[in-house]
């Protein structure tokens, strides 16, 4: 067990090093002079020279690689050209909003995806199955940015049911100030017992969360369906059936268990994907998270910031995969032998 976990962590570290090197290579591909981007329009040659030195661009390549890797390891992820603040502190100040969105979306995806997958498998080949499968295909085929705009058109413009954008209504926040503990408005409002703010932040969360949840929900539903159908063919389920347990028990008590592992794995996978899809969604909903930061950075060719966010999402992905691998090994010892 310990040997397996150590091996997984070792492999994870190798991948992390590779990820860091890939981001360095991308950062080096930038055409033109990053120093010019740093100082902006109307700059004098002296200012550009100074910027080149500040950014370390006047040093040899290998030295820059070593500095870069060391920097990443020690929490120095460079300075954003756009905000002129350290990239990691920019990321820190925006992570809470993105986590709020992505975690809500994942919970939504699990809460709806698992039952849908169950329904689909229970009535395999019949109408409910067909509908769920079709729905899942729509979910994975939907351009997220388009879905966001269409929801805004329908639920805000036409029906007026939900607010169009933002994390909460600032005028509500002004009248009902929040004491910030977590910087996640929904949680802070709960901790404060601040009901108007809770309402405001929840209503603002609905549309973006649904958009981010569409893809993971479809993937999870498919995965649940596939793994249940798979396990229904297995011997122990046949045995359970033969013993005369009701269909409900077969599904709820036995088949469902077999989906735990694949659902865990796929959740880890789509978590990082959902973080990446916030790049498309947050700007449309004015959601002040990492995705909007990334979109801003792309617009201003803020390479350190783009690289920083890319690196972060990749690290989250490697990390969540590692955690799932270890969790699976603990739950299901057979995995270790694989």
Partner 1 sequence: MSEVAITTRSRGVARLARKNPLLAWGALVAAALIVVALAAPLIAPHPQDAGSTMHPAATLQSPSRAHPFGTDMYGRDELSRVVYGARVSLSVAGLVLIIAVAIGVPLGIAAGYFGGVVDNIIMRVTDVFLAFPALLLSLALVSVLGPSVRNAVLAISVTWWPWYTRLARGQAASVRGRQFIESCRALGVPRFRMLWRHVLPNSVTPLIVQVSLDAGGVILTAAALSFLGLGAQDPTPEWGLMVSQGQDFFTTQWWLVTFPGIAILITAMAFNLMGDGLREVLDPKRVLTR
Partner 2 sequence: MLGIRTRFLALAFAVLMLFVLSNCGSTSKLAQVQNETFTYAANVEIMPGGWDPSTDYSSELIAMAQMYEGLTRYNAVDKKVEPLLAESFDSSNGGKQWTFTLRSGVKFHTGRPLTALAAKAAIERTIKLGQGAAYIWDPVKSIDTPDAHTLVFHLKYAAPLDLIASAGYASWIFDTKAAGSGDLGKWFAAGRDAGTGPYTVDTWQPGQEVQVTLKAFPGYWGGWSGTRYQRVVFRYVPAATTTVQLLKAGDVNAEMQLTPQLWASFQNDPNFLTTSTPSYYNFFAMLNTQRAPLSDVRVRQAIAYGINYDGIVAVLKGNAVKSSGIVPAGLFGHFDDLPNYTYDPTKAEALLREAGYGPGGKNIKLVLTYEQGDNFEAMTSAVIKSSLAPLNIDVGVRPLQWSVLWAKTQASDLSQRQDIAIYGWYPDYPDPASWFVNLFETQNPPVYNATYYSNQTVDRMIGEAMKLTASDRPKAETQYRDIQVKLLQDVPAVPLVGMVYQRVLPRSVSGFQDDPAYPDVVFVYQLTPVK
Residue ranges binding partner 2 (CB under 8 A): 31-34, 36-37, 40-42, 44, 47, 82-85, 90, 93-94, 111, 115, 118, 152, 156, 161, 164-167, 169-175, 196, 199, 202-203, 206, 248, 251-253, 283-284, 286, 288, 292-293, 295-296, 299-301
By CB under 8 A, tell whether 23 contacts partner 1.
yes
Cα dihedral 143/144/149/155 (nearest 10): 120
The binder of partner 1 chosen from 213, 217, 219, 329 (CB under 8 A): 219
Identify which of 317, 311, 318 has the alpha carbon closest to the alpha carbon of residue 26: 311
Which one of partner 2, partner 1, none interacts with residue 106, CB within 5 to 8 A by kind? none
To partner 2, the closest distance from the beta carbon of 227 in angstroms equals: 17
The token pair that represents 59 in the structure block: 């040093």
Do residues 263 and 221 lie in contact, with contact meaning Cβ atoms separated by under 8 Å?
Answer: no
Which one of partner 2, partner 1, none interacts with residue 33, CB within 5 to 8 A by kind? partner 2
Return the residue matching tokens 């268990």.
257
Distance CA 88, CA 106 (A): 25
Distance CA 45, CA 43 (A): 7
Q: DSSP secondary structure string, 58-69?
A: TS-HHHHHHHHH
To partner 1, the closest distance from the beta carbon of 190 in angstroms equals: 31
Contact window for partner 1 (CB under 8 A) among 9-17, 69-77, 175-183, 249-257: 9-17
83 contact partners, CB below 8 Å, separation of at least 6: 90, 302, 305
By CB under 8 A, tell whether 157 contacts partner 1.
yes
Which one of partner 2, partner 1, none interacts with residue 251, CB within 5 to 8 A by kind? partner 2
Contact window for partner 1 (CB under 8 A) among 91-99, 174-182, 218-226, 330-338: 218-226
The token pair that represents 24 in the structure block: 């360095």
Q: Is the torsion defined by CA of 104, 270, 316, 31 positive or negative?
A: negative
The binder of partner 1 chosen from 69, 172, 264, 295 (CB under 8 A): 295
To partner 2, the closest distance from the beta carbon of 91 in angstroms equals: 10
Using CA atoms, how far residue 93 sits from 97, 99, 184, 232, 293, in Å, is: 9, 11, 11, 47, 10
To partner 1, the closest distance from the beta carbon of 140 in angstroms equals: 6
């Amino acid at each position: 067990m310990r040997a397996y976990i150590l091996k997984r962590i070792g492999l994870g570290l190798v991948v992390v090093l590779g990820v860091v090197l890939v981001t360095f290579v991308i950062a080096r591909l930038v055409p033109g002079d990053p120093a010019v981007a740093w100082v902006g329009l109307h700059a004098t040659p002296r200012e550009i020279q100074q910027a080149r030195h500040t950014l370390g661009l006047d040093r040899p390549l290998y030295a820059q690689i070593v500095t870069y890797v060391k920097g990443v390891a020690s929490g120095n992820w460079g300075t954003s050209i756009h905000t002129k603040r350290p990239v990691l502190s920019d990321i820190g100040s925006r992570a809470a909003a993105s986590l709020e969105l992505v975690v809500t979306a994942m919970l939504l995806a699990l809460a709806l995806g698992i039952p849908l997958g169950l329904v689909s498998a229970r009535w395999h080949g019949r109408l409910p199955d067909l509908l769920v499968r079709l729905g899942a295909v729509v979910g994975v085929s939907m351009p997220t940015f388009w879905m966001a705009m269409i929801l805004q058109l329908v639920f805000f413009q036409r029906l007026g049911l939900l607010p169009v954008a933002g994390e909460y209504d600032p005028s509500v926040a002004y009248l009902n100030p929040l004491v910030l503990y977590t910087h996640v408005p929904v949680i802070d409002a709960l901790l404060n017992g601040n009901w108007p703010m809770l309402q405001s932040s929840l209503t603002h969360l609905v549309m973006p969360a649904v958009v981010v949840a569409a893809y993971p929900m479809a993937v999870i539903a498919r995965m649940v369906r596939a793994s249940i159908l798979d396990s229904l063919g297995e011997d122990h389920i046949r045995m359970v059936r033969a013993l005369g347990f009701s269909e409900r028990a077969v599904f709820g008590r036995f088949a469902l268990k077999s989906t735990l592992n694949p659902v865990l794995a796929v959740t880890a996978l789509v978590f990082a994907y959902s973080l990446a899809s916030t790049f498309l969604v947050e700007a449309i909903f004015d959601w002040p998270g990492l995705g909007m930061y990334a979109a801003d950075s792309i617009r201003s060719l803020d390479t350190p910031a783009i690289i920083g966010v890319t690196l972060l999402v990749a690290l989250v992905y490697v990390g969540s995969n590692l955690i799932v691998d270890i969790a699976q090994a603990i739950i299901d010892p057979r995995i270790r032998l694989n």
